[in-house]
Amino acid sequence: MPKKNIPKLAIRRLCIYKRMLSRLLEKEQETISSKELGKLTSIPDYQVRKDISFIGEIGVARKGYNIKKLNDHIINSLGLIEVWNTAIVGVGQLGTALLNYPRLKEMGYNILCAFDIDPKKIGKKTGGITIFPSDRITPTVRKNQIKIGIICVPPGAAQTVCDALAKGGIRGILNFAPIALNIPAHIVKREIDFTVELEFISAVLNLMKKKRS
């Protein structure tokens, strides 16, 4: 179990180390140093070591970290073995893609149901999952003990479905709608909007240019 409170940013980086480590598992290499792992993840070596130190001593001086052991250790420490009942809200292009993405199940996200507002979609199956009407979100989430909701609806509908998920007792929300969600603090939220990231890139490029000139 983790020593003390792990900083949020360290948790996120640990997930990134794990992503690389599971790729390395397929190679013959057995151990990796913080320097190498840092190179592969664009994170400085001391940061890698410090992050890993939050979940305990696992490295070997002069050799580095055993790849399999470190991978397992991150999975265990962060509880990534757990299986989560998951729902997808909004079966448009993105929602459909997610319903057909088999790796989600492999990663422990057990998609139990999907929701959409379009009567033509309701009752149909996508990726083996039945689509329910959006106004049934709260009872369905509660009944099926759904813990994680993935929001793929247009921005105008996002807050409403978010509230419905919250009322049903959801624990975590991954939001793809391009709008910030108002949410009780006990629900863990993550928002992904590639247009914000693109604009961030543009802004940084522009400010770099201005500074030079």
| Binding-site ranges for DNA (CB under 7 A) | 7-10, 33-35, 44-47, 49-50, 52-53, 57-65
The distance of closest approach from Cβ of residue 33 to DNA in the complex, given in angstroms and rounded to an integer, is: 4
Element (H, E) at 84: strand 84-89
The distance of closest approach from Cβ of residue 200 to a copy of itself in the complex, given in angstroms and rounded to an integer, is: 5
Please choose which of DNA, a copy of itself, none residue 45 contacts, taking the beta carbon within 5 to 8 angstroms, the exact cut-off set by kind: DNA
The sign one gets for the Cα dihedral 132, 180, 145, 73 is positive
Binding range to a copy of itself, per CB under 8 A, among 58-66, 118-126, 129-137, 177-185? 177-185
Residue 25 sits in the site that holds a copy of itself (CB under 8 A) = no
Site size toward a copy of itself, by CB under 8 A: 68
Tokens of 166: 């919250």
* Contact of 90 with 126, CB cutoff 8 Å: no
Residues 6+ apart with CB under 8 A from 192: 174, 175, 176
* Contact of 133 with 88, CB cutoff 8 Å: no
Residue 112 sits in the site that holds a copy of itself (CB under 8 A) = no
Tell me how far apart the alpha carbons of residues 36 and 64 are, in angstroms, rounded to a whole number. Answer: 9
Site string for a copy of itself, 66-85 (x = CB under 8 A): ------------xxx-x-x-
Task: Name which of 75, 66, 70, 36 is nearest 53 in CA terms.
Answer: 70
Name the residue with tokens 């299986």. 83
Tell me how far apart the alpha carbons of residues 129 and 100 are, in angstroms, rounded to a whole number. Answer: 9
Element (H, E) at 72: helix 67-77
Please choose which of DNA, a copy of itself, none residue 44 contacts, taking the beta carbon within 5 to 8 angstroms, the exact cut-off set by kind: DNA
The distance of closest approach from Cβ of residue 34 to DNA in the complex, given in angstroms and rounded to an integer, is: 4
Tokens of 133: 């009407």
Residue 195 sits in the site that holds a copy of itself (CB under 8 A) = yes
Site string for a copy of itself, 128-157 (x = CB under 8 A): -------------------xx------x--
Q: Which residues bind a copy of itself (CB under 8 A)?
A: 1-2, 5-6, 8, 11-12, 14-16, 18-20, 23, 39-43, 78-80, 82, 84, 93-94, 97, 103, 107-109, 147-148, 155, 171-174, 176, 178-183, 188-190, 192-211
